[in-house]
Amino acid sequence: AHPSTAAVYGQVTADAIIILLVFGWATVLLRLWVRLRLTKSPGWDDATIVLTLFLFTSYSAFILVIIARARELTLATPAAVMQTLLYVQLGEVFYILTTTALKISLGLFFMRVLTKRWQTNIFRTILVVSAVYGSFYVCIVAFQCGSPNKLALGLLGSKKCLPPKLIFSTGLLYGIINVIADWTFVLIPIWILIESDMDRQCKISVSMVMALGAIGSVSSILRMAYLKGLHLRGGIISAVKATLWATAEPGTGIIAASIAILRPLFRNIKSGVRDKLSAHSASK
């Protein structure tokens, strides 16, 4: 195809993974500090975001290995190529697990602040659908060729595996569910924000966090545009672009979900700085 262009996209994806992992781990650790030490109100949404972070780290490790191996693919043996294809499929499995866990975590978080019955019912429906279909899709991908050890055969169109059209269709439906869930998690909080009695400064800060969450929603749409690339039918460029957007979706979601919890920490920092400045001025 276009090896130089694919290499550039591959490097961008690798850089994005490193950045998202650093900010993801930092924000989740700060989130746990706030929930455990400041507000003392840990919940299941915190446990599931930690699970999501570990799954995302595993997914990122597979993608980084794939990028490293792809640079030497021209010199690879058939066995090494098969090993790389196995990593590609495992990356897809961990992507599904990551996004499913993220949806559950976000749903549990918003259900703590929802005030109306219709909002709660919508989020409960999304939680159930995401969990059930996510589990179903993981099984489809992981066992498409029978044993998970034969996952790589699925990318080679083996007749011993499930039909490619079935895999693509289930993946497309999973992407649609993701898009609906992502935009629900963006639009309903806007409704709550408008009705809240927070001051303008707080609303602006919350809106910035929601804008970051919207990036994940856009990423899920763009990933669907290059979905065929994940099955190596749309060309190597489409495959790399799909991977880039698939990485951005859960990465930005983890960061946004964690930053949304950090307001007490920022408030304490602001209060501490103000007190120190006041004490310094008084001493002068």
Domain boundaries, the chain: 3-148+158-263
Give 3-148+158-263's CATH code, choosing from 2.30.29, 2.40.50, 2.40.10, 1.20.1070: 1.20.1070
Predicted pLDDT at 98: 92
Please say whether the beta carbons of 16 and 24 come within 8 A: no
Q: Among 1-10, 45-54, 198-207, 232-241, whose mean pLDDT is lowest?
A: 198-207
Q: Is 235 in a helix, a strand, or coil? A: coil
Residue type at 278 in one-letter notation: S
Predicted pLDDT at 116: 77
Task: Check whether 229 has a pLDDT greater than 60.
Answer: no
Q: What whole-number percentage of the chain has pLDDT above 70?
A: 70
Task: Check whether 195 has a pLDDT greater than 80.
Answer: no
Q: What is the tens place of the pLDDT at every residue in 149-192?
A: 776 676 666 777 778 788 888 888 888 888 888 788 777 777 76
Greater pLDDT, 8 or 215: 8
Greater pLDDT, 72 or 27: 27
Q: What is the tens place of the pLDDT at every residue in 93-148?
A: 898 899 889 888 888 887 777 777 887 888 888 888 888 998 998 888 888 877 77
Q: What confidence tier does 44 reach under pLDDT thresholds 50, 70, 90?
A: confident
Cα dihedral sign, 234-240-243-248:
negative
Greater pLDDT, 228 or 264: 264
Q: What is the tens place of the pLDDT at every residue in 78-90?
A: 777 777 778 888 8
DSSP conformation class of 38: I
